[in-house]
Amino acid sequence: MTTVRIHETSRWFGNVVAVNDVTMEIGPGVTGLLGPNGAGKSTLINLMSGFLAPSSGTVELDGRAVWGDEQVYRRLGLVPEREELYDGLTGWTFVLANARLHRLPDPAAAARRSLETVEMVDAQDRPIRTYSKGMRQRVKMASALVHDPEVLLLDEPFNGMDPRQRLHMMELLTTLGDQGRTILFSSHILEEVEQVATRIEVMVAGRHAASGDFREIRRLMTQRPHQYRIRSADDRRLAAAVMAEPCVSAVELVTGRDGTTAVVVQATDFSAFVHALPVLASTQGIRLHEVLPTDESLESVFGYLVAR
Amino acid sequence: MTEQTRAGTVIHDIGYRHYDGPRLTTRQIERALFTETVRAAFGWGRSARSKVMPLLLLASTCLPALIICIVISVVPLVDEVPGGYPSYPFSVQVALAVFVGSQAPAVISKDLRFRVAPLYFSRPLSRTQYVRARYAGMAVALFVLIALPLTILVVGALLAELPWREQVTAYLTAMGGAALHALVLAGIGLLIAALTPRRGLGVAAIVTVLLVLSGLQATVTALAEEFGASTLADLGGLLSPFALVDGTLGVLGADDASIRAPGLDEGLGVLYPLLVVLVVAGCYALLVRRFRKVGIG
Amino acid sequence: MSPWDPTVARLTWHSVLGRRRALVLLLLPVALLALCALARALAALEGGDAEVSDALAVDLLAGFGLGVLMPLLGLIAGTGVIGPEIDEGSIVYLLTKPIDRFTIVLTKLGVAVAVVLLLGVLPVAASGLVLTGELDLVTAGFTVGALSGGLAYCALFLLLAVVTRHAVVVGLIYALVWESVVGQFVPGVQNLSAQQWSLATVVGVFGDDAERLELSAAVGPATGWVLLVVVAVGSTVYAGLRLRRLRLGAEV
């Protein structure tokens, strides 16, 4: 049972704060590190893998500081985001070299086992240069698994993979998590995290926005107030009618720069509103031209979570 | 406006429009690429950091010219430009070599390293046109680097009221030399850069090749003179691009060339202009061949 | 901590000499040997005495061997063993291992020195043989000079590659502009030039013959040795320290 503990950690680069006072604990199982681009996920992974010193706070692996101690790599594997490998080598020689660098007692056996785990045995004798993106990702994975680490950190492992490769990687992560390893992977795509991770940690703008069970967070996310922008044949009448719905908390009539009007509706219950609106429009005989959710981006969802 | 299908699936028209209007011709694309190359060689349109090196090198080729101008206008006894115009590039060759070395990879290696080149070739632009635009752009950038100090020199000389006919003749000869230098150096630099797309390696390879050749040429010439081997001394200049162009000017009749080149009448002299043509054509052909190998995707 | 890791060495060797870059590296010793062969041939043509005069041999070896070959070779080998890996990010596979950073730096320095030995020091020794026709003082002196200078250049340029991504350009400016051009005009600069220090070690080997061979250096032999050792050891230690805190693509 291995735990990565981040305690009141901040990291800044000059004037920019990349990670802002984050405290989290990553335990056994698969944890997803979710956040929009630029949220500080990579910085956090770099902190956890000992490639960055925290500007303040501590990052520890079972009570031992990660920074400046190369012995942590006996227990930790890292799959970096960057694609570059030793292109001239074959998959086999690359993974074998990684096993030797770990000074394992039987490097060849370890390399073989690791390549089997990621199902790359068939292509192991081809130069890495000829590999597809998914194959590179798997070889990177094999190199990180070669010493059977308790902790595995993956930076954006699904980037650039096709759906089949993605599925394979997800299965692999699930298996590794079930073996009791501590797995953390970062992603900015909600659905990826949803399918693999049992726990998620959400980062937004360098801050720790949410953490816990995925379904719970999902519920919190859908139950927040939603905003819609509606254009219709008769905006004023529609606004009056919509306000009568119990799931609506605010209505505003706005005029755009081009003179067109619209109704901006704030709904407290997402599903109730989307069911009520069409019924209401048809009974009132108001033709709807356009219904646009205005704050559906991941950023705004996270922004809401953080602001609360 | 939305398109409705039978199954109730909707494709929303989110405003994409077809473009049926006039398009630029491939010539215009080529010209745009050419301008971009010239600008990029001086860091124009790139980050502030990328501007430091080329501008520093431009300054270091121009500074001696400025100093010479000040000297000839202050010291009344000087009645000619010390060193002369045509050999000016030869004396600032280190700066020129470092310029080619640092800028040719920036111009061409990045296209290969980041796999941008296939994007160019998926447009109507042909590979030959790509090479032509890059080559011409790099050559023009180098020409500016050499021509600017020469122009400073001639302006300074004319302001100091040196005999203008001599000055302008020498200046124009030197400008011809500058053009040759630009073509030869750009060709060699781009070719090496295209063969060494890895970062840092291209710089080292270009500067090493240019300066080792210069060093070789200087040593061979010195050796030949020491042993009085005149044929070897005449041919030594063929070894380095700088001496090659300088010698070509000498063969073609310029007075101030610093390399001892035999006159055209001696027969061997014809090797100089011949090799210039060969180097330029060869580099161009090899570049085209290199980029033919670049696949799409 | 062991000073050498065979796997790091193999990966490094592969990335330095694995590809076309080896050709560029070969160009340098071939140029030196060709020059020396030419000098020897010219001397043979001129008269019965087939040997090149000692003064000319010294000129050639100092000017081209120590002045051009060693700095450029040291630059390419020193930056080449680590620069591209840092740049491409593949160094992460070395750094995520329980290996001391100094082991990595020392191993890579070892590979760079091996390259310089093979393509620099050996050719310089061979050139000495070609020029003088015997294993004499000139050959011995310049072999020592090439070795001491090569070691210092490798260590210095390896550090440069760890510190900055523009190591090659900065190194070229040092080797070409600082040591050669600035050194010509500002004599004080020569006191701070690895080329002069390695010349000083040659002068040291020549001893009393240095004057006859018309070889001089900006600093004394002892000073030269001390400065070379200080630069080599200092650069290596600092490179190890910097590698410990190397930031990898730590974009915000």
State the ipTM, two decimals. Answer: 0.88
**Would you say residue C214 has pLDDT above 50?**
yes
pLDDT at C47 over 80: no
Name the β-bridge partners of C223: none
Location of structure tokens 């819609």:
A228
Q: Quote the number of domains for chain B.
A: 1
The predicted model scores a pTM of: 0.81
Q: Report how far residue A34's alpha carbon sits from residue A186's, in angstroms, rounded to the nearest whole number.
A: 6
Three-state secondary structure of A223-246: CCCEEEEEEECCHHHHHHHHHCCC
C-alpha to C-alpha distance for B206 and B29, rounded to whole angstroms = 28
pLDDT digits (tens, 9 = 90+) for A70-99: 899 999 999 998 877 888 899 999 999 999
CA distance C155 to C111: 11
Q: Is the pLDDT of residue A305 over 80?
A: no
Domain boundaries, chain C: 6-244
Using an 8 Å CB-CB cutoff, list residues of chain C that contact chain B. Answer: 20-21, 24, 27-28, 31, 34-35, 38-39, 42-43, 45-46, 56, 60, 63-64, 67-68, 72, 75-76, 79-80, 83-84, 87-88, 165, 167-169, 172-173, 176-177, 180-181
Sketch out chain A's domains with CATH numbers.
4-221 (3.40.50.300), 223-307 (3.30.70.2190)
Q: Would you call A230 helix, strand, or coil by DSSP?
A: strand
Spatial neighbors of B18 by CB under 8 A, at least 6 apart, are none
pLDDT value for B297: 46
Task: Give the pairing of strands A199-204 and A207-213.
Answer: antiparallel
Query: Using a CB-CB distance cutoff of 8 angstroms, which residues of chain A are in contact with residue C99?
Result: 70, 101
| Inter-CA distances, A139 with A92, A157, B196, C92, Å | 9, 12, 26, 14
Cβ neighbours of C6 in A, within 8 Å: 100
Rg (CA), chain A: 24
Distance between start and end Cα atoms, chain B: 36
As beta bridge partners, residue A229 has A264, A292
Summarize the confidence of residues C23-38 as an average pLDDT: 86
Domain presence at residue B8:
no
DSSP A11: E
CB–CB of C172 and B200 under 8 A? no
- Beta-bridge mates of residue A290: A231
Q: What parts of chain B have a pLDDT lower than 50?
A: 1-4, 297
Q: How many CB pairs under 8 A join A and C?
A: 86
Confidence of residue C250 (pLDDT cuts 50, 70, 90): very low
**B4 located within any domain:** no
Tell me whether residues B220 and C35 touch, CB distance under 8 A.
yes
CA angle, residues A257, A261, A265, in degrees to nearest 5: 115
Residue B12 in domain: no
pLDDT surpasses 70 at A236 = yes
Chains interfacing with B (3 or more CB pairs < 8 Å): C
Answer yes or no: is B21 within a domain.
no
Asked if B211's CB is within 8 angstroms of C35's CB, the reply is no
Q: What is the mean pLDDT of residues A181-201?
A: 87
Q: Are C78 and C161 in contact (CB under 8 A)?
A: yes
Domain membership flag for residue B20: no
Check CB contact of A164 with chain C, cutoff 8 Å.
no
CA–CA dist A298, C27 (Å, integer):
56
The answer to whether B203 and B107 have CB atoms below 8 angstroms apart is no
pLDDT of residue A43: 92
